[in-house]
Structures are given as C-alpha cells and as structure tokens.
Chain A
Amino acid sequence: MSILIAIIVLATISVFFGLLLGYTSVKFHVEGDPVVDKIDALLPQTQCGQCTYPGCRPYAEAIAAGEANINQCPPGGETTMLALSELLGVEPIPLDSEHADDPEKTVVYIDEQTCIGCTLCIQACPVDAILGAAKQMHSIIESECTGCNLCIPPCPVDCIHIIPVKIEPETWRWSLPESTDTSPKA
C-alpha cells in the first residue's frame, strides 16, 4: 500500500513538473540564437565577405557555432576583435591581415564618364547604396556606402574607385600621446 502511495506521489510530481517545463519552454521560447545577435551587433556590417563568409550575420553564426575565429574581420580591426573576445570570454587573437591595427575607412565613387550603366554593381551592393538603372548613369550614395568594395570586381569598365572617407573637424580624433615609458606595468 505504502509503495502505491509513493508511486502516486512521485507520478503526480513528475506530471506537474513535466507540465511546468512544457509550459515554460513555450512561454519563454527564445527565437533564434541570442549570442548570434550579440556578435552581429559588434560586427561593422560592411557585408564585405572578407571573413570568407557571405556577410556579417553568417560570420556571426559561424563564430557562435565555433567554426570561425574572432580575428577574421579586417574592417572591424583590433577594436572588433577585442570586443568579441570580451563578449565570448576567449583569448584575443591578433589579426593576420596587414591593415589590422586601425583600418582606414573608405568609400567608393563611380567615374561617371566611364560608366556604361550595366547595373552589375547595383546587384553586388549589399546595402543598396548605388543608384541607377540599365543604360543610365550610376552613382554611389556616399552616406550609405560601407566601403566593402564588393561592387569593384563585377564592373566591366573599371570605373569604380576607392577613396578615403574625408575627415571633418567634427569627426577628427586626438591621437594617443607618443610615449613608451608610461604604459602600465604589472
């Protein structure tokens, strides 16, 4: 008899907790992987594909899945790599590309004299920053350009050129004072 009571009690408890767990999994269901969102928020969103993945989000997914290293984003540079290492709690890895330290920001512009209006660059632009139509002149919307340079390879007449982003007094930055002796010592 006592064994029956034990079984009934345990069964009731397990049913209760089963229902509770079922309910919470439905109620507090998280759409997608939140880590991917967090990683994606740190990436520069140039969508340039230099990380070997087709865009920033796929790279974020690859990092979250442990398939990619955190040092594959040249546009983000050291800052992004450090932020990723902070977020994921992994050791910082130096960037292997040559422009690792502080990547110069660039945009592209179209030499409108040479452009033949083929629309190939428009199809390549990941952020719709190129304005134009077939056999009409194309133009870059500079404020929307992320500097990914994905429009350059498809251009059949090589009329797209890279220019550095102009530094205005408002966007100018003070440099770190040059001194070697003042770094913190352990």
Chain B
Amino acid sequence: MTRSSRQLWHFHGGLKLESNKAISTQSPIVKARLPKRLILPVQQHIGEAGALLVKKGDKVLKGQAITQSTEYVSAPVHASSSGTVIDIDEYPAPHPSGLNTLCVVIETDGEDKWTELQPTHYINTKSPAELRQLIRKAGIVGLGGAAFPTAVKVNPGPQAHIETLIINGAECEPYISCDDMLMREYATELISGCGIIQYMVSATHCLITVEDNKPEAIKAIQAVINEQALHTIEVVSIPTIYPTGGEKQLIKVLTQKEVPSDGFPSDIGLLVQNVGTAVAVHKAIVLGEPLISRIVTVTGEGVKQPQNMEVLIGTSMSELIEQSGGYHDDACKLIMGGPMMGFTLQTDHLPVIKGCNCLLVENTPEETPATMPCIRCGACASVCPAQLLPQQLFWMASSKNFELVQDYHLFDCIECGCCAQVCPSQIPLVQYYRFAKTEIWSQERDRIKSDHARVRHDFRQARLELEKKERAEKLRKKKELLEKKKIAEAAAKNDTPETEIDPKKAAIEAAMKRVQDKKAAKQNNNTSSDE
C-alpha cells in the first residue's frame, strides 16, 4: 500500500476534538420510508434558483425535473418520487434565518415510478463537455455541505490544468458519519465516480483522502482499488485534526501548497470534490439518475437510535427523527450540520435539502456560558486554520469597522469555530464574523441599488431637461410662425386694393344681408296682414 509512504504536511492550528462518530456507525445505512409529502425548495444551492417547470395539479414521475436552470451557476431540482404537485408556495426551509422560501409540494402516490432514464454505458464515448451537461442536468451540487453546483466546479476554464483530483472523505466534524458509511457501503460507486471526474478534468491521478479514524472506509476503498488494479487512484489516510476537511486545509496537508486568498484550487492544478458528490456523479452518468436522495446522519445524545439514513430530498426531518426512535425526553436542540459549523433549527418540520448532511440532536441543557471580555490571550490565533487574527477581526466586527475587517481578510474565514471553541471568555466569535460578512454583503447590495437609482434619476433629469427644451423650441417656432403670418397679412393688406373683399368678411356680410332681407320681408308681411 502506498498510503504509508506518502509524505504529509500540517496546516496551521486546528483542534483535536472528541469525534463521537461511533454512535451512528453501529448499523448499516437504513433507507428512510417513502414519505406521504415531499417539500422541495427550488433554491437548495449556491447561485440562482431555477425556473419552475411544473404547476399545481401536475403529475410528476420520480426523477422528473421540476425546475430548470436559467443561469450558469445554478442547479435544477427533481421530483424525489412520483406523485402529484399539490402546492407551490412559500414554506419554511432549513436556513439559519428560519425564513420561508418557494417550495414545490408533492403528494407521493406510493408507486415510486421512475421517469425514463438515460444511462451512459461507455464514458469514453462522451466528451467532458457532454458529461458536464449531464451532471448539470442531474442537479448535482457539492454534498459536503456548501452545495455549490458541481457542473460549474468541474469546469475550471480552458487555461487551468488539473493535475490531481482530490476526493474529500475527511469528514472532520464530530458526530457526522454519512461520508464514512457511504465510503464503506458504496466504495465501488465511489471509485467509478472518481474515474468519471478524473476523465472529465483529465487529471493524471486521484487521491481519496480519509481521516485515520475511519479504518473501515479506508479498507473498503483499498479493496476496490486492489480488485480493479487501478494505478491512478490512491487512498490516503490523513491525521484526524479538525478542520482538515476544509478544502484549503486538505490541500495544505496533501501537497504543502496554499490556495491563493482570492483564488481557487484550480489555480494550483487541483480540484477537490466530496465523496458523496463523486457517488452522485456515478449515479448521474452510469445510471442516469438525477440527485434525488442523499445520506443523512441522524445522531446526537438526544435521539434514541442514532443512524445513517438514505433519504429522499424533501422528506420532513421530523419523519427521520421518528424513524430513528424519536427524541429522548431531555432532547433540547436540533442542529443541521455538525456541532462546530451547523446551525440551530427552530422546528423539525423542515425538508431535508441537498446540503443537509447531518441532523444533530443535543441534550446538554443549553447553559449559555456568560460571555466575558476578551483578555487578548491569543489562543484563537494559534488555532485558526486560515492563519487569521480572530481577536482583531472580533474588535473590528463588533465596532462595525467593515473596511478594516476586510483588510484583515475576513472573507478567508471558513467559520470552522476553532477560535470560539478555545476562547476562555466564551465569546461567540464566529457569530461576529457571520454578522460582519452578511452586513458587508448587504452594504454591497445597497451600493449597487443606489448606483442604479442614480443612473435612473440622472436619466430622468436629462429627459425632463430635454422635454423642457423641446417645448421651448416648439413655442418659439409657433411664435415665429405667427409673427411671419402677421407680417405677411400686413403686407397683403398694403398690397391688395380696397375693393377686393376678404371672402370671410364677404360671407358674413352676405349672411347679415340675408337676415336683414328676411326681417324686412317679415315686416312687410306683417304690415300687409294688418291691412
């Protein structure tokens, strides 16, 4: 095996955390029951939402697209099972804001009937661009949690040359084990998916990286590699340090290279994909199946039977909890994602979305430790995997100095939570960074809007000015015309002899004469009758 001989490096900082993964890896992946209702948010990814393809009352088949991408950075959503669209409206979605978002609600018919699928049997008959199109149509997004459209990520541009494909199976966050179980049970599909992506970006070799606390997964993948005698795919065991699953941290560990602050891994010849994404790519190309399900870890001390489940996208979280034995009596907090980077959900009546890797139920009573003033100990800076100065960022964010906080590279922060974890004053540091980030984005949106308004206002001013000028010009022309007419008339009066009478005048005179004649005639008649 080559994995022991490969040299590895360290990224700055990081933490050794209690992994707590074993509680959910005791049983194999369970298929969740087909729910009665599927709620599918149209926006489940980074980028633009697609345009709706269905309307209320439509019958849909499993795998049928219900939205269509209109922008480049976008991914369509597919019906996870067959049934009828019973509503298209705003429903609560799993998001830290707890706000509603546009969803398509499907009442399942229980038949789970697939739409016609178009599998690709020989990958080599298709060009990378054609495969990208297939991935795009299958609605695949990064399943590690960020949910960035995969078709965009595997197209790093014509000048980028991808040397190595890195498949991220590190899964460094405590409690989460969906990637671990996926690697154990879908190793063949994973290797197939790796091969497809490798072919698409023409990477010379592929490294599947797994933390050394997942020996079963490493064994399963190695067995498939040995069986198929693959030389370009290699499984690498890496030390378990949080957050080694971060893209930039993983690259540092494997290659010692650093991704530029505002750059992408493709700038240094690398592409990183999650293991779940690789399996989804295999399903999309080899089987023709779009992304309609994913593996979700349902775990934590607050749930009775922690396990991993294969779940149709759009299934209600409450059903997963119910099928995992339900809540313990002392369960108090539901988190989507892990304990470090996840966010608290207000309710479990929310659909599972493509980026939902874990449902964590905590039972530790939420004793909010009293936040104390920063003592400038610098512990946060020593653990920061992005080599930032968390303490400085904190001062700047809390004093709303949004320009300076960007100069200190706020946007390189991956919100891993290491700084908040080690802070002796219990300052919720990441919240400050999230606050600053969303505030900066909001100001940027306002700036774009005000620039737009300025252009429109200026245009209106210019238009009003022009209209005023045109009106003045018209008035001037009319006046000129009138003047000319007057002059012409005056000239005509002087020129023509008096005898020639104006036809209008003549007409009036003639009319008056007629009236006088009539009057005279009447008078004559009256006098004659009197006689």
Contacts and interface: CB of A to CB of B under 8 A. Distances in A.
Interface residues of A, number: 32
Contacts of A170: 43
Contacts of A172: 95-97, 99, 438
Interface of A is mostly: loop
B347 interface: no
B99 A128 contact: no
Interface residues of B, number: 40
A43 to B, nearest CB: 7
B449 to A, nearest CB: 8
B398 A169 contact: no
B460 A173 contact: no
A177 B431 contact: yes
Interface stretch (B221-229, B255-263, B440-448, B502-510): B440-448
Interface stretch (B170-178, B334-342, B450-458): B450-458
B408 interface: no
Contacts of A183: 398-399
A46 B450 CA distance: 7
Contacts of A4: none
B396 to A, nearest CB: 9
Interface in A3-61: 40, 43-47, 55-56
B207 to A, nearest CB: 35
Given A46-B453, A127-B453, A176-B432, A182 B373 contact: yes
A168 B90 CA distance: 11
B460 A182 contact: no
A144 interface: yes
B457 A177 contact: no
A43 B457 CA distance: 13
Interface in A131-169: 144, 146, 167-169
B96 A128 contact: no
A173 B373 contact: no
Interface in A114-140: 126-129
B96 A174 contact: yes
A184 B457 CA distance: 42
A181 interface: yes
B363 interface: no
Contacts of B438: 172-174
A40 B97 contact: no
Given A171-B442, A173-B442, A177-B431, A126 B371 contact: no
Contact of B95 (A169, A176, A185): A169
A181 B372 contact: yes
Given A172-B97, A177-B431, A184-B399, 11 more contacts: A44-B450, A127-B453, A127-B457, A128-B459, A146-B450, A174-B439, A176-B397, A176-B398, A176-B435, A179-B371, A182-B371
Interface of A: 40, 43-47, 55-56, 79, 126-129, 144, 146, 167-177, 179, 181-185
28 contacts: A40-B454, A44-B450, A45-B450, A45-B451, A45-B454, A46-B450, A56-B454, A79-B443, A126-B460, A127-B460, A146-B449, A168-B101, A169-B101, A171-B445, A173-B435, A173-B439, A173-B442, A174-B96, A174-B431, A174-B437, A176-B432, A177-B371, A177-B431, A177-B435, A181-B372, A182-B394, A183-B399, A184-B395
Interface of B: 43, 93, 95-97, 99, 101, 371-374, 394-395, 397-399, 425, 427-428, 431-432, 434-435, 437-439, 442-443, 445-446, 449-454, 456-457, 459-460
User: When A and B form their complex, which 10 residue pairs have the shortest distance between CB atoms, in order from nearest?
Assistant: A172-B97, A45-B453, A45-B450, A173-B438, A174-B434, A127-B456, A174-B435, A45-B454, A177-B431, A169-B95
